Amino acid sequence: MSERRQRATELTPLIAPDPQLQPVAGALAEHDDEPATAIIAMRANVVKLLGFRQSADLRPAVSVLQSGEATADERELVLCALLGSRGYEVGIATINGSLAALVHLAGDWKMVTLTIEGRADVEPLIPADLPSILRAVVPPAQGSNEPAGPRCTWMADFVR
């Protein structure tokens, strides 16, 4: 087994969806139904929630969230587990040796992780076949002709 395949096998249980994470995932995604904005909210909230930890061993998402601290790689694995718990297809790749969370969105694989350029040259782990360059999830373009309105259905009662 190649080194890349072996690493993917070791990481698979760490990015698996966990029903225990569904309520936390919903809250960190700010209960947004629009996939891109939910992913962006989750990315920002996970960064705020988890302090920095220096260690080489990787822990399951539940353990990381309970501790409140994560390494950079653990943070990416937690994002995958949380997104998977919300029903998204997730994956993992490396960028310059560090793990990067991936999500399959609108028919394309995207990085959950934000990079300065908005794209990166990745080395795929899960799935094994990915384009070599992936773009980050970005907010959907807003049409300027669309009227502003409540984002949650229950808010409509208060806006009249």
One-letter amino acid of 149: G
Is 153 a residue whose pLDDT tops 90?
A: no
In whole numbers, what is the pLDDT of the chain averaged over residues? Answer: 90
Structure letter (DSSP) for residue 7: H
Can you state the percent helix, strand and coil of the chain, rounding each to 5? 40, 20, 40
Mean pLDDT for 101-113 is 94
Taking every pair of Cα atoms in the chain, the longest distance, rounded to a whole number of angstroms, is 62
CATH topology of domain 3-140: C8orf32 fold (3.10.620)
With H, G, I as helix, E, B as strand and everything else as coil, classify residue 142.
coil
Place of tokens 């698996």: 16
Is 55 a residue whose pLDDT tops 90?
A: no
Which residues, listed in sequence order, are joined to residue 119 by a DSSP beta bridge?
Answer: 135
Place of tokens 């969806």: 17
What are 130's two structure tokens?
A: 């990915």
* CA distance linking residue 87 with residue 150, whole number of Å: 24
What are 137's two structure tokens?
A: 């999830």
106 φ/ψ sector (left φ>0, alpha ψ -120 to 50, else beta): left
Confidence of residue 127 (pLDDT cuts 50, 70, 90): very high
Structure letter (DSSP) for residue 30: T
- pLDDT tens column, 24-45: 999 999 999 899 999 999 999 9
